[in-house]
Amino acid sequence: MPEKPETPPRPTDGELEILTVLWSRGPSTVREVHEAITRRKPAQYTTVLKLLQIMADKGLVRRNAEMRAHVYQASRPKEWTQRQLAGDLLQRAFGGSAKSLIVGALAARKTTREELAEVRQLLDEYEKGTK
């Protein structure tokens, strides 16, 4: 194999979907990826296979050489890709607005390490109190 590009290019939407499956399921065969994708929308097996091969060439996924053939895994952690996609114009312009439109269990703002430590302490103290 020729050397991989240093930094893989930004994944396209289709590639991102496959990456999501790989992050979710861990290293997977083409069949497993294909199965996961067809749960949501119809897709050809060969499409997935070809996409995975192209992604391997681009350096977005790795073919696992130690295990059986056809087992792929994402070459980068999802945080890396998230940072790549943060440059997306739509996200940059309206990401904040989108966050206030969707509802979820946690606030859009992250909690600091200190606050988290405080929360944990509170939980522990509560546990002690009830014992």
Partner 1 sequence: MNTLAHWVEAPIAKALGWTLIHFVWEGVLIAALLAAVLALRGTASARFRYVLACVAMLAMPAAFGVTLARLWQSPAGVARAPGNARRPGGAVLSLSQAPAVPAQPAMASLAKPGPESPVAWVVPFWMLGVFAFHVRMLGGWVAAQRLRRVGVCRAPDAWQRRFQGLGERLCLTRPVALLESCLGEVPVVIGLLRPVVLVPVGMLAGLPVEQVEWILIHELAHIRRHDYLVNLLQSFIEGLLFYHPSVWWVSEVIRAERENCCDDVVVAVNGDARGYAAALAALEAHRGPVPEPALAATGGSLMRRIRRLLQQPEGPRAEGLRATLAPLFMAGILLVSVVAALSAWQTKPVPASGAARPAAAPATLETPRQAAPQAAQQETEPAAGDAQNSDDQTGDQSSSTATQSGNGTKQAPEKLKLLAQQIAQPRSFQPEIETPYRKWLNEDVAYIITDEERAAFKRLTTDPELERFIEQFWLRRDPTPGTAENEFKEEHYRRIAYANDHFASNDLPGWKTDRGRIYISYGPPDEKDSHPAGGTYQRPTEQGGGTTSVFPFEQWRYRYIKGMGNDVTIEFVDSTMSGEYRMTMDPSDKDALPYVRGAAPAVATTDKLFHVGVSRTTGMATITVPLFAVSGQRPLNIYGTITTLGGRIVTRFEETSYEESGLQDAVFQKSFPLAAGSYSIEVTVSANGVAPMIWNKAFEVK
Complex with partner 1: residue 6 or 101, whichever CB lies closer: 101
Q: How far is the CB of 6 from partner 1 (least distance, A)?
A: 17
Q: How far is the CB of 66 from partner 1 (least distance, A)?
A: 10
Bridge partners of residue 73, in order along the sequence: 62
Could you tell me which of 75, 67, 95, 65 has the C-alpha nearest to residue 18? Answer: 75
Give CA torsion, residues 90, 94, 99, 102, to 10 deg.
Answer: -80
Complex with partner 1: residue 20 or 73, whichever CB lies closer: 20
Complex with partner 1: residue 6 or 39, whichever CB lies closer: 39
Phi, psi torsion values for 39, nearest 5 degrees: -60, -30
Q: How far is the CB of 65 from partner 1 (least distance, A)?
A: 11
